[in-house]
Structure 1
């Protein structure tokens, strides 16, 4: 397998790729650029939408439009572009980061402090009506989220811990959180993740310049080198959910690679899982 360029763009902090099967397009964000991007591989069509705040994630809604994890909370864009707040919870020095839609249609949204201070962020479950429930309090950099194919396990990353954690799901909540694996020093920090149809976890390694695939037992079974040092997240998309898309960043790099900030794709990398749209 080899990575190719899907979208050549100098995003500062590209993040959160999500495949929307309804529109046949990839959605991702440039967090500090306050932009939501889309890309249709079949036509090459691209769109860019500015947000009024830093945007950590953007996910499709079942009713059309997008739900976004912003600096001050969770917002919704209708299909016609109209905007409204679903949950507004501003905290000075804090912003939204990675997010994912759970099998039940709720949004699990992470936060972090701009200075990445320990305990400054959290992971929150946001119901379709905007009701919020804290899942994990006192995290540093809330990042990767995903669920096993049968929905019985949840995976989670708080990047500075270097761990990919796994939890047993019960009544839509995670229990018995434990490390699935720990990324060794010098290999980078775990960032965003996706789970494939085999139940394996793909993780992007920030400052590691690669993706790794771990089995449900936590065994490393595949490594995919990338041309950039700061991959941020990955997801499966395209025809049959066979292509693996990877967002990347150039922020903080004194001499970024020419492809840093672009979206990469690994054709026919495996088999992804169908996504779930936010029910709100």
Structure 2
């Protein structure tokens, strides 16, 4: 496969890629660098934020949500003004990590013990203080899971009855049935651990296969709906962190990555590759 970096930007900890179909724009974040980034019509724009940011998701009303350490905020894209939308996780010392919207436009936010120092340095994860929360368009917060280590991957079945969710501290991707009242059944292990790195963020294609970024594994794993490895996609970065399908036909796979001690030239870049199957679209926040 042929890879290219979408811009010259290199993140300390690139994460949370989101493809906005209406505007054909790519959104992502540099968590450690406290930046929200957007590539629109070939132009890169960055918003500097006061705290670590784990997700940057456009809203139906025209602004965007950013998940900061102290809460979920609205970001005015024109003025860069921030306004607090809600505090999903009140646990002191936690930060947001994985965040995506379901087909109803509700934000699902996984949180964890903060593992990033003020200058971007790594801090150890010593407790399972994270949780999973659902945030509705009216800012109502519903707790779903607790006792999480490092939440990663949020993908839903087409019928909305199941969610794939991972915990990198376990090296495992799980599957939860979603109850009629919106709560989750207990986790069922679905995939992992695996020798090629730890599970990070993922994207789902139109065939229901999951493309999982492997932290410290320099690859993506394409996983069948039954949780078997279909293929390994080798990458020119040490720490791929997540991926999303984009482009006019949703056949461009965008892959975020982080810096690493190996200092490969593309570490921290967003990579783009063309794949042979289209992906499923991202959903904006409904509020």
* Length-normalised TM-score, structure 1: 0.93
Moved more, 163-172 or 20-29: 163-172
The answer to whether the aligner puts 1:166 opposite 2:175 as a matched pair is yes
Q: What corresponds to 1:279 in structure 2? A: 286
Question: 1:175 offset after TM fit, Å?
Answer: 2.2
Partner of 1:245: 254
State the 1:74 CA deviation. 0.7
Match of 2:190 among 180, 184, 209: 180
Summarize deviations over 1:3-34 as a string: whole Å, max 9, x none: 32222322100001000112211000000111
4+ residue runs over 4 A deviation: none
Shift of 1:266: 1.1
SS in structure 1 of the partner of residue 15 of structure 2: strand
Structure 1 counterpart SS, 2:249: helix
Over residues 32-78 of structure 1, what are the superposed CA-to-partner deviations in whole Å (9 max), with x where a residue is unaligned? 111001113xx311100111110011111111111111101111124
2:101 maps to 1:117: no
1:85 matched to which residue of 2?
84
Residue 118 of structure 2 is matched in structure 1 by none
Give the Cα–Cα distance (whole angstroms) in 2 for the partners of residues 80 and 44 of structure 1.
Answer: 18
| Matched pairs, number | 275
SS at the partner of 2:187?
strand
Distance 2:228 2:269 in 1: 29
Q: After TM superposition, list the pairs within 5 Å mapping 1:126-145 onto structure 2.
A: 126-145=135-154
Separation of aligned partners in 2, 1:213 and 1:118: 30
Partner of 2:119: none
In the other structure, the counterpart of 2:121 is none
Counterparts of 1:242 and 1:227 in 2: how far apart (Å)? 20
Deviation at 1:112, TM superposition (A): 1.1
- Contact kept, 8 Å, 2:238 with 2:262, in 1: the verdict is no
Residues 1:259 and 2:269 are matched in the alignment: no
- 8 Å CA contact 1:8–1:263 kept in 2: the answer is no
* Structure 1: gaps of 5 or more residues: none
Q: Is the 8 A contact 1:18 1:27 kept in 2?
A: yes
Q: CA RMSD in A?
A: 1.6
Q: Which runs of 5+ in 2 are unaligned?
A: 116-123
State whether structure 2 residue 156 is matched by structure 1 residue 147. yes
Q: Does 1:68 align with 2:66?
A: yes
